[in-house]
């Protein structure tokens, strides 16, 4: 090993040289032999050129300590001899330098570099990286001054073989390497002019990564061998990838150990290129893997689908609307229904065929939206047997109840739709087939009292429905406005029967005929009885009155009992009993 001569001596020569320059008296120095290397116990050197005077000898100085003291071990008096054999039977470590001895008065003989009789110090590999499909080896230069080159070794199936010798620089690209087929392992040995080499240091092995698509996961699984050779170990392993020929960017940190990573959320049909970059702890040195590329063919799932609306038709059916990925590779879908947002049951199962439509509808003809709240979901099964379900959505159930005082009470259940927020309600009334807005209501209002016009029989028998206005946040984060209609509920006020308490057949009020208010009659009966309980008159015609006769003969003045029964179209029965005074 070559080392710098004692710093003290070199400092003295530097000071002397400076002094000579300063005084203008500097003269040529006596150059030493260029000590090249030590092979065995023989020193080899390159002869110097000195013209200041006659040659006397080349002197060899030795010490068993780098820092001395050095003693003269021998001299070479042949000016053309370029080697010196040093006797070292014990094989101990010695340090050497040489000086030239010329008869040059007043000129200083400067020493050569210092070498020892040991092989060169190792040149540790920094990285074995893959660049442009070839292995690139980078190493630290050996601190041994006698080193003139580096031997590159590669591990093969037949053993470790030298592949090249590098005489300049500390980087080597192995043009015969195949890092795209598997990991490549290397050693680097320092070399001196005597053929001495450093001992083999730690082997460094490149990273070889393979990519395997997992279609049902919409992902690619990366597997690689971890980088080998760093004394500080691996600090992190970075996943880099590029899409469709674009530049590679770091996508994830796969940790400092392990050799697998799953890259998710890939674009179907795109071409991805992957690399793994290992980073050495402490130093930050980076070793790249081979680059592996593939066009991914993944199974498109229905992920991101959502139920967009649930609304009741005028006829009482329930319309469902949902959106999904039209490229999804589905086997079937199911329409699920529940009356309590639990224990959903399929009411429709349909096979799917490509191409799918993005927006889909289904009408439930037997949902029961007119008797209660109904919940729905859409569920899909894809070719990977993956089952996905949408958000839930329910119908609005509305009821209308007649109250006293010309009031119809309307109530409805809140619009219950996952991921949706109600902003307002609009209440509609249907009178005589005409639809009109009855009231605009806040999102927290779920009832309303309608004071109807009692003189308008059709309004007293109005129908109602409500529409919820809501904002729905979809699976992709978009907000859409939706409207959901309730069932239609109709109200019928009870019929009212007004009957006179007296009449005068020969006078102004000649007949006894009740007034039916809010009739919408389905059936009508009126019976008149005398004071003995004998029926004297009966009719099913609400327009027919009693003129105080029985079988065409006038009856005597007096009190008579009446029984009036009115059956409305809804089936509601109203009955009125009383007495009327027949006046003659």
User: What is the pLDDT, as a whole number, of residue 508?
Assistant: 83
Residue 215 per-residue DSSP state = G
Sheet holding 359-364, edge to edge: 306-312, 318-323, 359-364
User: Does pLDDT of 303 surpass 60?
Assistant: yes
User: What is the pLDDT, as a whole number, of residue 428?
Assistant: 98
pLDDT band at 9 (very low <50, low <70, confident <90, very high): very low
pLDDT band at 87 (very low <50, low <70, confident <90, very high): confident
User: What is the pLDDT, as a whole number, of residue 183?
Assistant: 98
Q: What is the mean pLDDT of residues 572-582?
A: 91
pLDDT band at 10 (very low <50, low <70, confident <90, very high): very low
**Residue 32 near residue 98 (C-beta atoms within 8 A):** yes
Q: What is the mean pLDDT of residues 490-501?
A: 84
User: Does pLDDT of 513 surpass 60?
Assistant: yes
User: What is the pLDDT, as a whole number, of residue 494?
Assistant: 72
User: What is the pLDDT, as a whole number, of residue 30?
Assistant: 96
Provide the 10 A C-beta neighbour count for residue 90.
5
User: What is the pLDDT, as a whole number, of residue 232?
Assistant: 96
User: What is the pLDDT, as a whole number, of residue 573?
Assistant: 87
- Tell me the three state secondary structure of residue 12: helix
User: What is the pLDDT, as a whole number, of residue 20?
Assistant: 38
**Residue 191 near residue 200 (C-beta atoms within 8 A):** no
Dihedral, CA of residue 360, residue 363, residue 368 and residue 371, to nearest 10 = 80
Which tens digit of pLDDT belongs to each residue from 521-561? 789 999 999 999 999 999 999 999 999 999 999 999 999 99
User: Does pLDDT of 440 surpass 50?
Assistant: yes
Alpha-carbon gap, residue 259 to 251, rounded angstroms: 16
User: What is the pLDDT, as a whole number, of residue 518?
Assistant: 65
H helix runs in 338-471, sequence order: 457-460
- Tell me the three state secondary structure of residue 436: strand
Q: Average model confidence (pLDDT) for the chain?
A: 91
User: Does pLDDT of 341 surpass 70?
Assistant: yes
Percent of the chain with pLDDT over 90: 82
**Residue 449 near residue 486 (C-beta atoms within 8 A):** no
User: What is the pLDDT, as a whole number, of residue 528?
Assistant: 95
User: What is the pLDDT, as a whole number, of residue 21?
Assistant: 37
Which tens digit of pLDDT belongs to each residue from 260-300? 999 998 999 999 999 999 999 999 999 999 999 999 999 98
User: Does pLDDT of 5 surpass 70?
Assistant: no
User: Does pLDDT of 16 surpass 90?
Assistant: no
pLDDT band at 519 (very low <50, low <70, confident <90, very high): low
User: What is the pLDDT, as a whole number, of residue 17?
Assistant: 40
Higher pLDDT, 7 or 341: 341
Which tens digit of pLDDT belongs to each residue from 127-169? 999 999 999 999 999 999 899 999 999 999 999 999 999 999 9
Alpha-carbon Rg for the chain, nearest whole angstrom, is 54
User: What is the pLDDT, as a whole number, of residue 207?
Assistant: 98
User: What is the pLDDT, as a whole number, of residue 11?
Assistant: 41
Please name each of the domains of the chain with its CATH number: 2-116 (2.60.40.10), 125-205 (2.60.40.10), 209-295 (2.60.40.10), 303-492 (2.60.40.10), 496-582 (2.60.40.1220)
User: What is the pLDDT, as a whole number, of residue 458?
Assistant: 75
User: What is the pLDDT, as a whole number, of residue 39?
Assistant: 86
Alpha-carbon gap, residue 277 to 271, rounded angstroms: 20
Dihedral, CA of residue 369, residue 375, residue 378 and residue 384, to nearest 10 = -140
Alpha-carbon gap, residue 6 to 3, rounded angstroms: 9
């Amino acid at each position: 090993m070559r080392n710098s001569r004692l710093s003290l001596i070199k400092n003295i020569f530097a000071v002397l040289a400076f002094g000579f320059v300063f005084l203008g008296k500097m003269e040529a120095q006596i150059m030493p032999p260029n000590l090249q290397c030590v092979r065995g116990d023989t020193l080899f050197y390159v002869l110097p050129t000195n013209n200041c005077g006659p040659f006397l000898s080349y002197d060899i100085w030795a010490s068993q300590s780098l820092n001395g003291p050095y003693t003269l071990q021998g001299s070479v008096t042949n000016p053309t001899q370029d080697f010196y054999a040093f006797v070292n039977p014990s094989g101990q470590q010695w340090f050497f330098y040489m000086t030239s001895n010329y008869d040059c008065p007043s000129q200083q003989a400067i020493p050569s570099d210092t070498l020892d009789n040991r092989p060169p110090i190792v040149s540790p590999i920094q990285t074995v990286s893959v660049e442009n499909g070839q292995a690139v080896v980078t190493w630290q230069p050996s601190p041994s001054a006698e080193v003139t080159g580096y031997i590159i070794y590669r591990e093969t199936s037949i053993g470790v073989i030298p592949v090249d010798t590098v005489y300049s620089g500390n980087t080597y690209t192995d043009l015969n390497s195949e890092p795209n087929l598997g990991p490549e392992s290397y050693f680097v040995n320092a070399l001196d002019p005597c053929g001495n080499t450093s001992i083999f240091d730690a082997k460094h092995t490149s990273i070889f990564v393979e990519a395997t698509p997992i279609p049902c996961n919409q992902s690619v699984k990366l597997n690689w061998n971890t980088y080998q050779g760093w004394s500080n170990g691996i600090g992190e392993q970075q996943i880099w990838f590029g899409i469709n020929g674009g530049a590679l960017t770091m996508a994830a940190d796969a940790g400092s150990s392990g050799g697998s990573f799953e890259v998710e959320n890939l674009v179907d049909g795109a071409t991805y290129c992957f690399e793994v970059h290992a980073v050495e702890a402490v130093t930050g040195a980076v070793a790249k893997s081979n680059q592996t590329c593939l066009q991914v063919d993944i199974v498109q799932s229905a992920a991101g689908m959502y139920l967009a609306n649930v609304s009741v038709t005028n006829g009482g059916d329930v319309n469902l609307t949902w959106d999904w990925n039209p490229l999804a590779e589905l086997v079937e879908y199911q329409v699920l229904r529940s009356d309590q947002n639990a224990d959903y049951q399929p009411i429709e199962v349909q096979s799917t065929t490509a191409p799918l439509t993005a927006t889909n509808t289904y009408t439930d003809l037997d949902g029961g939206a007119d008797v209660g709240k109904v919940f729905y979901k859409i569920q899909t099964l894809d070719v990977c047997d993956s089952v996905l379900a949408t958000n839930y959505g329910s119908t609005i159930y509305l009821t209308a109840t007649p109250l006293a005082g010309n009031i119809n009470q309307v109530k409805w259940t809140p619009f219950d739709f996952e991921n949706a927020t109600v902003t307002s309600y609009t209440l509609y009334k249907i009178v005589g087939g005409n639809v009109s807005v009855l009231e605009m209501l806040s999102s927290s209002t779920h009832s309303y009292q309608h004071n109807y016009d009692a003189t308008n029989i059709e309004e007293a028998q109005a129908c109602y429905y409500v529409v919820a206005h809501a904002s729905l946040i979809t699976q992709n984060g978009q907000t859409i406005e939706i409207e959901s209609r309730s069932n239609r509920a109709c109200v019928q006020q009870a019929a009212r029967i007004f009957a006179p308490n007296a009449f005068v057949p020969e006078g102004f009020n000649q007949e006894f005929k009740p007034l039916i208010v809010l009739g919408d009659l389905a059936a009508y009966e009126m019976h008149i009885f005398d004071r003995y309980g004998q029926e004297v008159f009966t009719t099913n015609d609400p327009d027919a009155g009693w003129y105080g006769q029985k079988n065409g003969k006038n009856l005597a003045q007096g009190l008579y009992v009446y029984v009036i029964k009115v059956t409305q179209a809804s089936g509601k029965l109203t009955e009125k009993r009383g007495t009327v005074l027949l006046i003659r």
